[in-house]
Structure 1
Amino acid sequence: MIASQKVKEGKLVKVEVECDGFIKKIKITGDFFLHPEDILEKIEKSILGLRKDTGTEAIASRIHEITGANDAQMIGVSPESLALVIREALK
């Protein structure tokens, strides 16, 4: 399943997801910036195993946890925007 969207912060986000009832694989790409760069991999890993019907707020909360714990900066995207595109891909 794939979703691609220009988020409210102005950048393009693309999400590819494989799932049965749970998220088995996820790849997030786009023209946004994250610092440190390896934070995207940590975000993707934190999403694995979530139920397909997990809500946007719960996904955004998981992303906030990862970015906060790693003092990460998100430029051109927010945890909420990423969560919205992930939810769109899961539909």
Structure 2
Amino acid sequence: MGHHIGEHKARKGLIRIEFDEENGVAEHIRITGDFFMHPEDVVHELEETLEGHKIEELDGILEEFFAVRMDVEMPYVNVEDFKIALKNALKE
């Protein structure tokens, strides 16, 4: 089991993605930081969406999640910022 932490300083806020990896699968995903996202429960929904997937699938799942959720407001932060934080978590 490995533990991954990745951060990225976006234009307006820090994004931190933290998760455990067991047998190549992401578990216990937490997304935190000082960014703004509305509706607020979307962060929790994103964590649940990523949970239980192979780590090599997470980038695509992030992309698809934000493509489907057109109602999400993230001033000065975008999907690429989340993908960079994820990539930084996987660099370990």
Structure 1 length-normalised TM: 0.80
Aligned equivalent of 2:35: 32
CA contact 1:60–1:80 (8 Å) conserved in 2: no
RMSD: 1.8
In structure 2, the gaps of 5 or more residues are none
Counterpart check, 1:64 vs 2:63: no
Q: Give 1:55 deviation, angstroms.
A: 6.0
For residues 26 and 38 of structure 1, the distance between their equivalents in structure 2, rounded to whole angstroms, comes to 15
Aligned equivalent of 1:81: 81
CA contact 2:39–2:73 (8 Å) conserved in 1: yes
Counterpart check, 1:47 vs 2:50: yes
Aligned equivalent of 2:8: 5
For residues 84 and 59 of structure 1, the distance between their equivalents in structure 2, rounded to whole angstroms, comes to 14
For residues 58 and 44 of structure 2, the distance between their equivalents in structure 1, rounded to whole angstroms, comes to 21
Aligned equivalent of 1:15: 17
CA contact 1:10–1:77 (8 Å) conserved in 2: yes
Task: Determine helix, strand or coil for the equivalent of 1:35.
Answer: coil
Count of residues in correspondence between the two structures: 87
Moved runs in structure 1, 4+ residues, more than 4 A?
Answer: none
CA contact 1:55–1:87 (8 Å) conserved in 2: no
For residues 58 and 52 of structure 2, the distance between their equivalents in structure 1, rounded to whole angstroms, comes to 14
